[in-house]
């Protein structure tokens, strides 16, 4: 039975629960309600995977959220349908499916890569017990491979047929790094990069899943599966990192010094999950352990913005729809190219500047981990790299910075300088330290980073990063910045950063 509403139709169907009459309702607000709470009270139609009439039963498969801190679960509910109500029940199921998959292709073809060795090492078990049953419930077509060694994902990505709707990755952040670098070697790299990727959090570092799903859902495997099934493509900036004559594609972050130490320096603690990063930070700022080790660097950049006030204004005003439409047009002109010719060409091959010592961290998405929103004003596809440079300060200040770090409050620190740049270069004056690119270890040496707008594609429930950055407390703070133009490159020198900082 359908009741005409102002916005859309409201659908009801009569069912039996333990022989007693009940009603299922699809409301105009997209909620499935039951008049008998023994089965469930209500669920959002987005969580519905499938519903159908099978014989004298109506079946509903959906993802059920549980109490905060507990993983969501696949749930199947059944109701008895009397013969006189079967046609009405079929119409109800059809209406629910239309609403549940609005704007999304049914039965997505999923290419799945599983890293069974990542993080706590439970990815294979999670795939069998949770992921595969959810995809089966949604009638997805699956082809699954398990990685067997380092760089295996790159080899697979390089040879993918691309005849699928989404690439699903069960791992931490490292597997996507391998995949993107495999895409770069594909015979048709632009088409490969246009394939939407959906991460399922099974590693110790699940930063991208957190960025897409938010802090509450970033570690929820079932919700991540929903994103793979129903998420919509969102363009993503990808960077080229030039290490000598080697070109590495980077999608997440480039870190050296303290921020690299707390990742690479805690690899032996992967079994602990993401808590290892908090321990690494405490270890890194401990005076008795670090002995104030120093890591002098030269940082040069082509700066697009260094005013935090303006960044806040842009953060509040930006339109995701505008970016998605614009970027789709920009990529179309390259579709006829293949191989290396199709990849974006490097533009900024000359950077000059004066020496500036300190440590820096760069990225293109807000969260670097569940407890740290390092780049709160990062945009998925603005064509810019967010760079943080931290002045030397007391250990008490570094420890105090942990309070509110998960909400991006470090952005407001006067000792933390924030830039948006099209390209940058770092020259370390010592090679005794760590360099992490997307959390993967690389030899510390001079390197250049350049951003390629909207080259990659992710699946997202919202079309934008899920970071909740509260800007209401922002007060204008004078930036101690002096910009000097040199060969059309802006080299930024920050007063107070000429000191040696604890890192490396």
- If one counts every other C-beta atom within 10 angstroms of the C-beta of residue 161, the result is 7
User: Which helix (H) or strand (E) element contains residue 279?
Assistant: helix 275-284
| Dihedral of alpha carbons 401, 208, 301, 421, sign | negative
Closest among 273, 344, 1, 13 to 123, alpha carbons compared? 273
**Distances from the Cα of 92 to the Cα of 8, 50, 61, angstroms:** 14, 12, 14
Q: What is the mean pLDDT of each run of 10 residues along the chain (504 residues)?
A: 48 92 92 78 94 97 90 96 96 97 96 92 96 99 96 96 96 95 97 97 91 95 98 97 95 80 54 52 50 66 93 79 41 42 60 48 90 92 92 70 81 88 90 84 92 97 91 56 43 38 32
208/365 Cα distance (integer angstroms): 8
Walk me through the domains of the chain, giving residue ranges and CATH numbers.
Answer: 2-99 (2.30.29.30), 109-230 (3.40.50.10330), 242-332+349-453+475-494 (2.60.200.40)
The two structure tokens encoding residue 246: 């080697």
Instruction: Give kind and range of the element (H or E) at residue 427.
Output: strand 416-428
Helix, strand or coil for residue 225? Answer: helix
Q: Are 457 and 234 in contact (CB under 8 A)?
A: yes
Would you say 339 and 374 are in contact if contact means Cβ atoms under 8 Å apart?
no
Report the DSSP beta bridge partners of residue 442: 435
**Helix residue ranges, H only, 106-220:** 123-126, 132-137, 152-158, 174-183, 189-194, 207-213
How far separated are the first and last CA of the chain, in Å rounded?
67
Cα–Cα distance list, 53 to 141, 327, 439 (Å): 21, 42, 48
Q: Whole-angstrom Cα distance, residue 73 to residue 79?
A: 20
Q: How far is CA 148 from CA 114, 116, 118, 131, 152, in A?
A: 9, 8, 11, 20, 6
User: How far apart are alpha carbons 418 and 412 in whole angstroms?
Assistant: 9
Distance CA 382, CA 64 (A): 35
Cα–Cα distance measured from residue 347 to residue 430, given in angstroms and rounded to the nearest whole number: 27
Question: How many residues are there in the chain?
Answer: 504
Backbone phi, psi, residue 456, to 5°: -95, 175
3-state secondary structure of 12: strand
| Beta strands per DSSP E along 265-356 | 297-305
What's CA 437's distance to the chain center, in Å? 15
What distance lies between CA 436 and its chain's CA centroid? 17
Please, are residues 91 and 26 in contact by the beta-carbon 8 Å criterion? no
Q: For residue 491, how many C-alpha atoms fall within 13 Å in the half-sphere facing its CB? A: 16
pTM (predicted TM-score): 0.83
Cα 492 to Cα 353: distance, rounded to the nearest angstrom: 8
C-alpha closest to that of 205 among 377, 437, 376, 432: 437
Which residues 6+ apart lie within 8 Å of 70 measured at CB? none
Report the candidate in 53, 45, 48, 46 with the shortest Cα–Cα distance to residue 14.
53
| pLDDT (0 to 100) of residue 284 | 56
198 touches 169 (CB < 8 A):
yes
Residue 220 near residue 439 (C-beta atoms within 8 A): no
Strands 489-494, 109-114: pairing is unpaired
Q: Which two tokens stand for residue 497?
A: 């950063």
Distance CA(214)–CA(208), nearest Å, equals 9
**Residue-level pLDDT at 262:** 62
Question: 51 pairs with which residues across the strands?
Answer: 60
Question: What are the angstrom distances between the C-alpha of 150 and each of 121, 124, 147, 219?
Answer: 14, 16, 8, 24
Measure the CA–CA gap between 208 and 231, rounded to whole angstroms: 14
Can you tell me the distance from the alpha carbon of 451 to that of 310, in angstroms, rounded to the nearest whole number?
Answer: 21
């Amino acid at each position: 039975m359908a009741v005409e509403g102002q916005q859309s139709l409201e659908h009801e169907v009569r069912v039996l629960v333990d022989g007693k009459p009940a009603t299922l309702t699809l409301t105009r607000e997209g909620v499935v309600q039951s008049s008998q709470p023994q089965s469930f009270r209500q669920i959002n139609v987005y969580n519905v995977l499938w519903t159908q009439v099978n014989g004298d039963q109506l079946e509903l498969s959906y993802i059920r959220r549980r109490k905060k801190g507990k993983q969501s679960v696949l749930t199947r509910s059944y109701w008895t349908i009397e013969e006189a109500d079967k046609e009405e029940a079929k119409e109800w199921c059809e209406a629910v499916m239309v609403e549940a998959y609005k704007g999304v292709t049914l039965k997505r073809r999923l290419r799945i890569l599983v890293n069974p060795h990542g993080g706590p090492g439970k990815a294979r078990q999670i795939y069998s017990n949770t992921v595969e049953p959810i995809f089966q419930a949604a009638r997805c077509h699956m082809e699954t491979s398990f990685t067997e060694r380092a760089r295996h994902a790159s080899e697979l990505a390089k040879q993918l047929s691309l005849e699928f709707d989404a690439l699903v990755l069960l791992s931490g952040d490292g597997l996507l790094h391998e995949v993107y670098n495999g895409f770069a070697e594909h015979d048709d790299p632009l088409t490969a990069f246009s394939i939407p990727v959906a991460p399922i959090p099974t590693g110790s570092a699940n930063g991208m899943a957190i960025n897409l799903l938010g802090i509450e859902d970033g570690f929820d495997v079932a919700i991540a599966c929903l994103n793979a099934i129903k998420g919509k493509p969102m363009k993503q900036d990808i960077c080229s990192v030039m290490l000598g004559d080697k070109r590495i594609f980077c999608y997440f972050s480039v870190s050296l010094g303290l921020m690299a130490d707390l990742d690479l320096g805690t690899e032996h603690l992967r079994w602990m999950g993401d808590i290892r990063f908090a321990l690494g930070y405490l270890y890194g700022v401990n005076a008795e352990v670090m002995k104030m080790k120093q890591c002098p660097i030269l940082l040069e950049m082509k700066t697009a913005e260094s005013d935090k006030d303006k960044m806040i204004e842009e953060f509040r005003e930006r339109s995701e729809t505008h970016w998605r439409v614009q970027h789709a047009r920009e990529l179309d002109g390259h579709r006829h190219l293949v191989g290396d010719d199709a990849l974006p060409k490097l533009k900024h091959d000359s950077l000059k500047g004066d020496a500036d010592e300190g440590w820096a961290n760069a990225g293109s998405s807000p969260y670097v981990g569940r407890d740290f929103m390092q780049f709160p004003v990062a945009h998925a596809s603005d064509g810019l790299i967010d760079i943080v440079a931290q002045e030397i300060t007391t250990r008490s200040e570094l420890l105090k910075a942990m309070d509110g770090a998960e909400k991006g409050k470090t952005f407001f620190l006067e000792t933390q300088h924030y830039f948006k740049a099209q390209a940058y270069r770092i020259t370390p004056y010592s090679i005794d330290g760590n360099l992490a690119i997307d959390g993967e270890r690389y030899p510390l040496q001079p390197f250049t980073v350049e951003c390629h707008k909207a080259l990659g594609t992710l699946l997202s429930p919202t079309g934008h990063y899920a970071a909740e950055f509260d800007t209401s407390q922002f007060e204008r703070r004078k930036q101690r910045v002096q910009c000097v133009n040199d060969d059309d490159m802006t080299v930024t020198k920050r007063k107070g950063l000429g000191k040696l900082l604890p890192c490396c």
